[in-house]
Structure formats: C-alpha cells, structure tokens
Amino acid sequence: MTKKPVMTKKPVMTKKPVMTKKPAMTKKPVMTAITICHSRPDRESKTKEMNGIISALILTLIAGSATGIGGALVLFKKKLSSNFLAGALGVSAGVMIFISLAEMFPEAQAGMLECGFVKYGKAYVLAAFFIGMGLITLIDFLVPEYENPHEASGLSLNAKTAAVGMMEQTGNEAQLKRLGLMSALAIAIHNFPEGIATFIGALNDPQMGAGITFAIAIHNIPEGIAVAIPIYYATKSKGKALLYATLSGFSEVIGALLCLVVTKIFGLELTGGGPAFPLVMAAVAGIMIYISLDELLPTAEKYGKHHIAIAGVVGGMAIMGISLLIL
C-alpha cells in the first residue's frame, strides 16, 4: 500500500504550462499592421481629394482667364471673324446645355436617392435647379442695363469701330472709362456663380469639368472684349485694358475658393456622400442653362448668322455626347 506515492508522478501535469504558449497570442500585434493598412488608404484618399481640388481650381482659373484672351484678341488683332465667334459661342452653349441636362441633373437626382431621399429627393433637386437659375437672374437684374456687358453684346469686333460706337453713347472719354470699369465690375460679380459651376463640375468628374471649362472660357471671350475696348480708348493704354479685362475673370477663382471655404466650415461634402453635393450640382445645372439661353445664344446671333449659331449648338452637344461615350 505504501506504493501509493506513485501518485506523486502527477506532477507530470505540471506540463500543463504548455498553456503558457498562449503568449503566442501576443502575436495579435498583427492587428497593428491592419491599423497601418487602414491609415494608408486614409492618407491616399486625402491626397486624392487634395489633388482633385487643385485640378478643379486650375480649370476654374483657365476658364476665368479667358476674359484676358478676349481683351488680347481685340487689342492686338485688327479684325476677328464674327462668324467664327458666333459658331464658337454656339458650341459653348451646346456643351453647357448637354452637360446640365444629360449629366448633372440626372446625377443630382440619383445622388439624392442614394442619400435616402426616396420620396421628395427629385422635388428637392428640381427646386435647387430653379434656385440656381433664380440666383444668376437676380445678379443680372442687379446690374444696371446700360452698364451690363451682356446687354452690350454684339459689339463690333473691330476695336476702333466699337469704341466709336461707345463714344457716341457715352459722350466723352471719362464716361467711356467708367463704362469699361463698370463692365469689369459687373462681369466680376457675374462670374462668381460661373466659378462655382466650373469648380463643382470638375470636382465631380474631371472630364465634365473640362467641358464646362471650355464652354465658360468661350463665353468669357466677348466679356473681355466688352471691358478692354472702352478702357483702351479712354486711357490709350493696352496694358491697362488687358489688365482690367483679365482681372474681371479672376472672380471665378474667388467664387470657387469661397465655395470650398463655406463647405469646409459647415462640414459639407462636395465630392459625394451627402445631400449637399447633389443639390449644389442641380443649382449649378440651372446656372449653366440660364447662361446658355440668356447670354451665349443671343450673343452668338448678334455676332453672326442664326443658322451658324444653331449649328454650333448642335455641334457642341454632339461633341460632348460622343466624348462621354468614348472616354
């Protein structure tokens, strides 16, 4: 019976410390690798967002600087082809109308549905569309008709002839200079929403942004002409005329920056993910339709023949539609 101490061999159970190998679980730091993998996409997404913002601002700057191109053309070229400008303005109108109705408006509706606004989403988009149109209409009405460059559309593309006509209206060089300065101010105010339109379009889709940039740049050329001619013939300085014509378009960049700052302050998402983006898109579509119908088409017809302007509209729509299919 004394052999019972064999039970002392139970210490073999002490091998249970095999459980101590559980510290292998300390390899959970693998989770830290997962954390790093998550942080990298965050950095990449922020970099991508910043690149998108910079690209959109560059496109907005290109569109705005076209007023300077208009001023340079009329100052340094004796005669521009009125039919060519009419066709170009028609193309610009076609591009803007097509992008607004075939791209931006439907995308705005789809965006509201994705945000959960199933019942009234389309109604909100429609309201935003007409609010945008109303905003640019209000800006036009706030500018006196005599000093509104859009009311002066159809100026002769010969700088001297146009200046003589303006001189007959204003009476003297001082009034002519005032007309040029007020035109520059009116264009600067008017270009605020155009800058927002270009910026939002480029943020949403670089291809769409390029189309809007082209359309607004063409639209800005006659505006640069309207500023440069009176300033030049009042001051006899091509440099001043070109400077004021160029500066009048830079307000588009200011409009884009203001849009960016406001959205950051209020924490709004302008690259998708919230209702703010589709609503702003719809408002921008309304602005672009108004610009096309109120400014581009009437100006095109004043510079050239009706059928050339309409052919330009159809051509602009076709170019934009085909480019969207191919790219």
Is residue 188 within 8 Å of residue 244, measured between CB atoms? Answer: no
Q: What is the rounded average pLDDT of the residues 132-156? A: 70
Q: Which residue has the higher pLDDT, 207 or 290?
A: 290
pLDDT digits (tens, 9 = 90+) for 61-86: 999 999 999 889 878 876 667 788 88
Q: Is the pLDDT score of 38 beyond 50?
A: no
What is the Cα–Cα distance from 312 to 125, expressed in whole angstroms? 29
What is the Cα–Cα distance from 84 to 303, expressed in whole angstroms? 9
| pLDDT at residue 36 in the model | 34
Question: What is each CA distance from 109 to 102, 130, 206, 237, 287, in whole angstroms?
Answer: 12, 14, 20, 50, 17
Q: Which residue has the higher pLDDT, 57 or 225?
A: 57
Q: Is the pLDDT score of 42 beyond 70?
A: no
In 3D, which of 242, 122, 141 has the Cα closest to residue 189?
A: 141
Q: Is the pLDDT score of 13 beyond 90?
A: no
CA atoms within a 13 Å half-sphere pointing along the CA-CB vector of 87: 8
In this structure, is the dihedral angle defined by the CA atoms of residues 34, 35, 39 and 42, taken in order, positive or negative?
Answer: positive
pLDDT averaged over every residue in the chain: 78
> Which of 11-15, 138-142, 249-253, 267-271 shows the highest mean pLDDT?
249-253
Q: Percent of the chain scored above 90 by pLDDT?
A: 26
The three-state secondary structure class of 265 is helix
SS3 content of the chain, % helix, strand, coil (to 5): 85, 0, 15
Q: Percent of the chain scored above 70 by pLDDT?
A: 75
Is residue 59 within 8 Å of residue 202, measured between CB atoms? Answer: yes
Q: What is the rounded average pLDDT of the residues 161-175? A: 56
Q: Is the pLDDT score of 1 beyond 50?
A: no
pLDDT digits (tens, 9 = 90+) for 82-140: 788 888 889 999 999 999 999 899 999 998 998 888 889 999 999 999 999 999 888 88
Cα 20-21-24 angle, rounded to 5 deg: 130
Q: Is 78 left (phi over 0), alpha (psi -120 to 50) or beta?
A: alpha
For the CA atoms of 24, 28, 33, 36, the dihedral, rounded to the nearest 10 degrees, stands at -150
Is residue 284 within 8 Å of residue 103, measured between CB atoms? Answer: no
| pLDDT at residue 34 in the model | 38
Q: Which residue has the higher pLDDT, 172 or 243?
A: 243
Q: What is the rounded average pLDDT of the residues 166-191? A: 71
| pLDDT at residue 37 in the model | 38
Q: What is the rounded average pLDDT of the residues 169-182? A: 67
